[in-house]
Structure 1
């Protein structure tokens, strides 16, 4: 089981490397890694399990955060309205994801972004494309193409940045961390 002790923190060189493509067929070891990453996210969102194992809640995790320089990430965004549906907004493991296209319009989270590899608050807006079209492979090697918008798009872009050695705070305007241009909408 992955715990916070397995997650490397900012300053570790692996977080600044471009991760390697996952070769096909996908190895059993890589499949297991993907499943464990998803299990961590689900566990981190369960109050009892999170407290028992001292897990910080996360909606995304990339292999480089585990000091494994492979292009694989897991995303588990729970239902935004549990009374309406228990179904997660997005719950998937992506192997070799690629952004095929993105909107000119950008969006950012009103509260800023956080990261399991960053143990401090970093104030500022992180502008990202508000809509993206991505392709990726699942653990069985099947290719998928999806359109994402707003929060799920932001989460996936955050995780894909980890595959390219980019940290979320690299996107924050150093001069004016809370500056927004007319193309950027604020998501609460």
Structure 2
């Protein structure tokens, strides 16, 4: 299981490289990587286990964040609507070779800004991202999946895909006016 000591930190060149495509069928090492990244997210979202292992909670973890320069990321966005009829996650999958095939003109941003397991310091500011995306990726079985995401799950997937292109969330923050977002940006709590 990955621990915080296994997470690649800002400054490591792997975080700024464009990751390589993943070949199918997955090798045993790639299958293990997918499993271990998702396991980190599951454990980190369990309050007791998170504390026990000294983890930082996460909703996404990309392969470059564990020092593997491959186009693979685990995403686990829990259900955040208290009125939802189910605890089923808003989005849960390992996305491999992901491509955003379409995106909304409208932006969305998290009111509290974004954080990252690889960035130890707080970087205040809005991170404008597309509010809606259509994402195409392969799952661990090699099936091609096409899914439309909106709001928080769309933001999380864009953050993880950025990792596969050597981009960190704070690259999107307006340096002069960090709390200024494009006109009509939907603010997400």
Range into which the TM-score falls when normalised by the shorter chain: over 0.9
Q: TM-score, normalized by length of structure 2?
A: 0.97
2:180 alignment partner in structure 1: 179
Structure 1 distance, partners of 2:42, 2:28, is: 21
Structure 1 distance, partners of 2:18, 2:67, is: 12
Corresponding pairs, count:
188
Give the drift of 1:127.
Answer: 0.1
Structure 2 distance, partners of 1:70, 1:181, is: 32
Task: Give structure 2 stretches of 5+ with no counterpart.
Answer: none
Give the drift of 1:122.
Answer: 0.5
Greater CA drift, 120-129 or 80-89:
80-89
Moved over 6 A (4+): none
1:143 alignment partner in structure 2: 144
**What's the CA shift string for 1:137-170, capped at 9, x where partnerless?**
0101111000001100000000000000000000
1:166 alignment partner in structure 2: 167
2:35 alignment partner in structure 1: 35
Structure 2 distance, partners of 1:24, 1:156, is: 22
Q: How does 1:90-105 map to 2 (within 5 A)?
A: 90-105=91-106
Task: Give structure 1 stretches of 5+ with no counterpart.
Answer: none
Q: TM-score, normalized by length of structure 1?
A: 0.97
Give the drift of 1:115.
Answer: 0.3
User: 2:139 touches 2:145 (CA, 8 Å); kept in 1?
Assistant: yes
2:25 alignment partner in structure 1: 25
CA RMSD of aligned residues (A): 1.0
User: 1:104 touches 1:183 (CA, 8 Å); kept in 2?
Assistant: no
Q: How does 1:72-91 map to 2 (within 5 A)?
A: 72-81=72-81, 84-91=85-92
1:131 alignment partner in structure 2: 132
Give the drift of 1:129.
Answer: 0.4
Give the drift of 1:82.
Answer: 5.6
Q: Secondary structure at the match of 1:132?
A: strand
Q: Secondary structure at the match of 2:75?
A: strand
